[in-house]
Chains A and B, each alone.
Chain A
């Protein structure tokens, strides 16, 4: 099985037409030393056997549907209607919409996506998507540095540790300097912002799940001439004041929580929103409305002079392939739920997280760590090593207690709740954890 349509006869006729004797002959001009190396791969398999083998591999995993694990990815409902629409071959198998006349589907859907992200974040524009939340943050900070012409970055320890690691790798590359601002009591203190700092970064709700007061952070950044970058869970923005309204110049985050499969971490999508004034510094693709020669509304990729295939070494970023399809799935999800449906989903997670926390705090040796107010995730200090607890819970069929990195403290575990969790699920986790800790 190789998905090629050619019959033997056609291959012969085509070879003759191009003046080659065999398929092998097409590679005759390659250096002899490199042609036909010995490569060892498994034997080909028919379609059913591939599926069987994959099903076998899938069974070696314990599905994490309804997991209480958090930390950037959560188990939410994945609506079949979104999955079905995203599988439309026209969306699935299209390339980047460089020919707008036959790409209005992806272009208009992206324009709608940009609108929804701008609405959620309270900012004016969003690009067409980034790879994930972490790279969206890195690119958002680079945007701030270009805009301010500075090379210093102040990042709250409340930002997801993996996001900070990615940010570090991107900033090191251009010689920018990253300083981490330690949390105080689980929240970001208002820092002195030195001269030379171009971006101040905080996350709300932060990695511990606590709500941050973003406005004073934004004000501190602005007083020093820096921009303020907020990392925000897009689902939380159904309820919480949007970053734009709190003084953020740039907002970034990861779209998995908008009904995308967890997929062991990807692909999801990153969003990047900002003010229209900074649009010429935005990385990645951007869709604009315009009109065609007959005066009809249409959409196309715009301000392309920012991008690598036009500007090459002077581009704003090297990003090319982004996460278009998953971003459109996020938009489909938002449209499927609407403002009220989204608010209900977010709120149920918040309510269940609060209920879960009080249930788990009943257990001896378990103490609170995340301060109130918190959103739909929280950290507890456990009397046992969280990695062991997570494993012991998994043996009981439950996924919970994401181990929190040691930089925040010892024996800390993160818990999350979503719209999928009913009271009985919360009680089951409490009972299992009681057993594990006993």
Chain B
């Protein structure tokens, strides 16, 4: 039995919400040649059918609210319900209303900017970017504008990324018009310093790092890396996807980074929403501040205002003022926890990950880069097991699997990030399930899952003959 599409629940002439009574004729206002001849084929359902449809769909979906979700580098922590109520307080604000009538919203943005600057050790910040990758693009464009302003734009055409980097890093560099070069990881999983030294030079614009890196390892030579970059005129970019591990304990600014983006939807509890919307503020050191996008929230004698008068700015990266309601949630999180709470959260995210790592090693998993890992670690199954099959087996046992096949430098990688909001017994139950999987017959694993809403799907068919809409007949 397939779950029906909303279109299959539709009955011609059935009505749901009626927001208007007695409508006029379109022809009285709009010339006939502009009017569509056939209405769009939208579903026609009553409100209860609508509610049952989406409630039913939600039951075919797992989230942090239902299931342990240890996706590496995604920081699937609990999203406090308080934040949803907080966001609602700011729903009815229009981006173009008189600035005198949005002083509370502007103050909130300004304060959040100050908190994030304090937590990252940066001098200036933009809250405009709508997601982490959007923040990356903003940050790299800022770096580019800086080099161009100094007359080095033509010479510096290369962005360096480690081979363990998130895929968005090289994709961002390409989008910003740069060539990309990968730096290998050393045997300890950290950036190979000698390889980095060979690449640095006047042709390099930036080095993008995430610290701790995607193996969960803190780059212990970060001060040396920063010094080398500085000597070579290379800007050091911090991908904030993994900030949860060190929030409050160490700051990218103190490590020598010039730019940092934050994922408010990872570290600062904005819900992921099945893929978005998120928010990706970008902090920079003072020398890059003139290039940040417009507008910036500023504080003047007559209150808070949006500053557009920034001649060296890279311009606009998003309409209006960014994903404001996400900012409200992050503000609420920081004010609820304070510095001590944030530090405790970071420390427990590390403790949970280290503890789970020990439990998995005990059950036969390997950890190829088994240094002092932090909020996440990358495990490998024993020889002969496929990460994909284990992931599908976990689904059958009621857990969301870790990130699989990433980072690319580890074969059959299982990248595990439990986050601080999970309890000891959940970690133990998960480890138990991971152990159980290794005892399952091969055939059971290869065919799992069995009782999920659907079982393994035919990806090849979808790739060869994608059916992308209900009416798509091709």
Q: Which A residues are in CB contact (< 8 Å) with B250? A: 27, 30, 34-37
Q: Which residue of B lies closest to A328 (CB)?
A: B274
Contact B467 A288 (CB under 8 A): yes
Residue with the highest number of chain A CB atoms closer than 10 Å, among B31, B274, B470: B274
Contact B391 A291 (CB under 8 A): no
**Chain B positions 326 through 366: 1 when the CB is less than 8 Å from some CB of chain A, otherwise 0:** 10100110111111111011011011101101100000000
Query: With an 8 A cutoff between CB atoms, is A183 at the interface?
Result: no
Q: Which residue of A lies closest to B375 (CB)?
A: A26
Query: With an 8 A cutoff between CB atoms, is A118 at the interface?
Result: yes
Q: Which B residues are in CB contact (< 8 Å) with A88? A: 54-55, 58
Q: How far is the CA of A391 from the CA of B40 in the complex (A)?
A: 40
Given contacts A31-B220, A54-B89, A241-B34, contact A298 B457 (CB under 8 A): yes
Contact A292 B118 (CB under 8 A): no
**Chain B positions 1 through 29: 1 when the CB is less than 8 Å from some CB of chain A, otherwise 0:** 11101110000001111111001101011
Residue with the highest number of chain A CB atoms closer than 10 Å, among B133, B321, B466: B466
Q: How far is the CA of A1 from the CA of B208 in the complex (A)?
A: 34
Contact B7 A105 (CB under 8 A): no
Contact A116 B42 (CB under 8 A): yes
Q: Which A residues are in CB contact (< 8 Å) with B223? A: 31, 33-34
Q: Which A residues are in CB contact (< 8 Å) with B23? A: 343-344, 347-348, 351
Interface size class of B (residues with CB under 8 A): 35 or more
Q: How far is the CA of A194 from the CA of B374 in the complex (A)?
A: 56
Contact A375 B30 (CB under 8 A): yes
Query: With an 8 A cutoff between CB atoms, is B98 at the interface?
Result: yes
Query: With an 8 A cutoff between CB atoms, is A186 at the interface?
Result: no
Q: How far is the CA of A266 from the CA of B318 in the complex (A)?
A: 10
Contact B94 A309 (CB under 8 A): no
Contact A42 B338 (CB under 8 A): yes
**Chain A positions 44 through 69: 1 when the CB is less than 8 Å from some CB of chain B, otherwise 0:** 11010011011111111111110101
Query: With an 8 A cutoff between CB atoms, is B461 at the interface?
Result: yes
Contact A58 B406 (CB under 8 A): no
Contact B218 A30 (CB under 8 A): yes
Contact B325 A266 (CB under 8 A): yes
| B424 interface neighbour in A6, A172, A175, Cβ under 8 Å | A6
Given contacts A37-B250, A340-B15, contact A312 B167 (CB under 8 A): yes
Q: Which A residues are in CB contact (< 8 Å) with B272? A: 93-96, 321
Contact A264 B141 (CB under 8 A): no
Give residues 368-395 of A contacting B (CB, 8 Å). 373, 375, 387, 390-391, 394
Contact B16 A3 (CB under 8 A): no
Contact A69 B96 (CB under 8 A): yes
Residue with the highest number of chain A CB atoms closer than 10 Å, among B69, B108, B176, B348: B348
Given contacts A1-B341, A4-B344, A264-B93, contact A321 B457 (CB under 8 A): no
Of A9-17, A195-203, A219-227, A423-431, which stretch is located at the interface?
Answer: A9-17
Interface size class of A (residues with CB under 8 A): 35 or more
Q: Which A residues are in CB contact (< 8 Å) with B171? A: 308, 311-313, 315, 317-318
Query: With an 8 A cutoff between CB atoms, is A190 at the interface?
Result: no
Q: Which residue of B lies closest to A242 (CB)?
A: B36
| A111 interface neighbour in B77, B344, B449, B470, Cβ under 8 Å | B470
Query: With an 8 A cutoff between CB atoms, is B392 at the interface?
Result: yes
Q: Which residue of A lies closest to B35 (CB)?
A: A239
Contact A160 B319 (CB under 8 A): yes
Query: With an 8 A cutoff between CB atoms, is A182 at the interface?
Result: no
Contact A321 B101 (CB under 8 A): no
Contact A290 B457 (CB under 8 A): yes
Q: Which B residues are in CB contact (< 8 Å) with A99? A: 391, 395, 400-401
Q: Which residue of A lies closest to B263 (CB)?
A: A321
Q: Which A residues are in CB contact (< 8 Å) with B79? A: 92-93
Q: Which B residues are in CB contact (< 8 Å) with A302? A: 459, 462-463, 466, 468
Q: Which B residues are in CB contact (< 8 Å) with A307? A: 167
What distance in Å separates the Cβ of B454 from its nearest Cβ neighbour in chain A? 4
Contact A321 B278 (CB under 8 A): yes
Q: Which residue of A lies closest to B180 (CB)?
A: A313
| A166 interface neighbour in B166, B318, B474, Cβ under 8 Å | B318
Query: With an 8 A cutoff between CB atoms, is B324 at the interface?
Result: yes
Given contacts A324-B274, A345-B19, contact A339 B44 (CB under 8 A): yes
Give residues 221-250 of A contacting B (CB, 8 Å). 237-242, 245
Contact A3 B351 (CB under 8 A): no
Q: How far is the CA of A312 from the CA of B14 in the complex (A)?
A: 47
**Chain B positions 309 through 322: 1 when the CB is less than 8 Å from some CB of chain A, otherwise 0:** 00000111111111
Contact A336 B50 (CB under 8 A): yes
Q: Which residue of A lies closest to B391 (CB)?
A: A99
Contact A323 B94 (CB under 8 A): no
Contact B95 A73 (CB under 8 A): yes
Contact B107 A57 (CB under 8 A): yes
Q: How far is the CA of A125 from the CA of B472 in the complex (A)?
A: 8
Q: Which B residues are in CB contact (< 8 Å) with A261? A: 88, 91-92, 325
| B421 interface neighbour in A5, A90, A293, Cβ under 8 Å | A5
What distance in Å separates the Cβ of B216 from its nearest Cβ neighbour in chain A? 12
Contact A326 B273 (CB under 8 A): yes
Given contacts A2-B344, A265-B95, A310-B167, contact A90 B63 (CB under 8 A): yes
Query: With an 8 A cutoff between CB atoms, is A438 at the interface?
Result: no
Residue with the highest number of chain B CB atoms closer than 10 Å, among A41, A344, A387: A41
Contact B422 A95 (CB under 8 A): no
Contact B36 A30 (CB under 8 A): no
Q: Which A residues are in CB contact (< 8 Å) with B97? A: 62, 64, 67, 69, 390, 394, 399
Q: Which A residues are in CB contact (< 8 Å) with B389? A: none
Give residues 125-144 of A contacting B (CB, 8 Å). 125-126, 128-129, 131-135
Contact B321 A262 (CB under 8 A): no
Q: Which A residues are in CB contact (< 8 Å) with B177? A: 173-175
Contact B320 A173 (CB under 8 A): no
Q: How far is the CA of A62 from the CA of B98 in the complex (A)?
A: 9
Query: With an 8 A cutoff between CB atoms, is B248 at the interface?
Result: yes
| A44 interface neighbour in B5, B16, B54, B335, Cβ under 8 Å | B335
Q: How far is the CA of A96 from the CA of B136 in the complex (A)?
A: 19
What distance in Å separates the Cβ of A321 from its nearest Cβ neighbour in chain B? 4
**29 A-B pairs in the complex with CB atoms less than 8 angstroms apart:** A3-B80, A4-B421, A11-B348, A18-B354, A18-B357, A41-B115, A50-B335, A89-B58, A91-B63, A92-B84, A93-B63, A95-B274, A96-B272, A112-B7, A125-B469, A134-B318, A262-B95, A291-B458, A303-B463, A312-B167, A318-B133, A318-B136, A325-B277, A336-B45, A338-B43, A340-B39, A343-B23, A347-B23, A399-B98
**Other contacts beyond A34-B223, A81-B50: 18, CB < 8 A:** A2-B420, A11-B348, A20-B354, A23-B344, A29-B220, A30-B246, A30-B250, A44-B336, A64-B92, A64-B101, A94-B274, A104-B60, A131-B134, A309-B166, A318-B174, A318-B175, A320-B133, A338-B44
Top 8 nearest A-B pairs by Cβ distance? A265-B320, A105-B61, A89-B65, A325-B273, A60-B104, A44-B338, A265-B95, A267-B277
